[in-house]
Structure 1
Amino acid sequence: MGDVTIKNSETLSKWKHELKKIQFERTSKSGSTQSQEREVYDHGNAVAALLYNKQKGTVLLTRQFRLPAYLNDGEGMLLEACAGLVENGEEPEATMKREIKEEMGYEIEQLQKIFEVYSSPGSLKELLFLFVGEYDQQQKVADGGGLKDEGEDIEVVEMPLAEVIEKASSGQIRDAKTVILILWLQQKQLV
């Protein structure tokens, strides 16, 4: 990879999370030294899970408003896998179980971690932990919908896996983490 030396790190914003401008030098594979600058947004690591029901052939998704998507295409309402940010000192699986309960109203005991991926490594520091897990109606303990004091207004959507695959293939599901989880579930033929 070559050597990397951080020359300067300037905080541009620390409103909710941290946006930095980082100046660094990197030795390329040819041996030359390159000076570069990048903006790096750090909101911590994240988790996402796609829950499935083998007997019914269904999956659970969330539908919620996402301002960046709205600013990009005017739509903003996205179908997504349940997701959230890992809190300091919390393990990713514990975060995921908490988020499933808050957003979807299900208490899930078993999750399978399938990947750790960088969502957009050109500018985000976030490492995303992806999970799948089985659900059934006996695990439903609350309405879900997210935390009102955090402004969450989440709809829980149960759909047949075949329909979800079609929506991902046709571009109706456009969230990358969700598409990855759908394709993984389809490939493993768990539903």
Structure 2
Amino acid sequence: MNPTITILKEETLSDNWYTLKNYTFKYKNREGVQEEQKREVYHNGNGVTVLLYNRKKRTVLFTRQFRIASYTNGNPSGMMIETCAGIMDEKDPEAAVIRETEEETGLEIQSTRKVFEAYMSPGAVSEKLHFFVAEYSDDMKVSEGGGEEEEQEHIQVLEVPFEEALQMVQSGKINDAKTILLLQYAQINGLMD
């Protein structure tokens, strides 16, 4: 633990879908002055995401679903095009990404490659996301996918040519950070070559 930070109070504000807490803490700033601050932190667990790509067809797979947070912040339809992703129920990120891929896309992927980890919104969200890439083929399909019914996921699976996906980022049709990061990773590292 960091000796320059002292948690004075931790208060649960909501424990509905995930947990929202308010922290009162003392923090020694860079001038060495101890100051008291209050911040809210949303705890939703760590997550995984994967760019599914088919080198032979030069395509990538995305999910499309309604996201209330984007809707309440100006996205008129609330629909988001994203890489397959989910919360880690298990401790092993690779096991989580394989499970999420099958739940959402209906594909039973054989192997993955972890490419990096990142905090997506560390000012208010505690989640650390584990990023993967995995090659897919049509013969990996074991179900229709679509997400978990009890989680009210109504996921549409989209297969998109890689070059079109990059154009969708430029046009704003894809505006999800994890998806943009993985597409850029694929482009920089020549995954389709």
2: distance between equivalents of 1:94 and 1:42?
21
| Cα pair 1:48 1:128 within 8 Å, conserved | yes
| Cα pair 1:10 1:22 within 8 Å, conserved | yes
Unaligned stretches of 5+ in structure 1?
Answer: none
TM-score, normalised by the number of residues in structure 2: 0.95
2: distance between equivalents of 1:36 and 1:150?
36
Q: Which stretches of structure 1, 4 residues or longer, exceed 3 Å deviation after superposition? A: none
TM-score, normalised by the number of residues in structure 1: 0.96
The Cα RMSD (Å) is: 1.1
Unaligned stretches of 5+ in structure 2?
Answer: none
Correspondences of 1:153-172 after superposition (within 5 Å): 153-172=154-173
Shift of 1:30: 1.5
The sequence identity of aligned pairs, in percent, is 44
Correspondences of 1:118-133 after superposition (within 5 Å): 118-133=119-134
Query: After superposition, what is the alpha-carbon deviation per residue over 1:28-55, rounded to whole angstroms, capped at 9, x for unaligned?
Result: 1211111111000101001110100010
What is the one-letter code of the residue matched to 2:79?
M
2: distance between equivalents of 1:5 and 1:184?
38
Aligned match of 1:149? 150
Shift of 1:16: 2.5
1: distance between equivalents of 2:110 and 2:48?
16
Aligned match of 2:82? 80
1: distance between equivalents of 2:13 and 2:30?
31
Give the number of equivalent residue pairs: 190
Correspondences of 1:1-191 after superposition (within 5 Å): 3-73=4-74, 74-87=76-89, 89-191=90-192
2: distance between equivalents of 1:90 and 1:28?
34
78-87 or 8-17, which moves further after superposition? Answer: 8-17
Shift of 1:75: 2.2
SS in 2 for 1:72: coil
What is the one-letter code of the residue matched to 1:86?
M
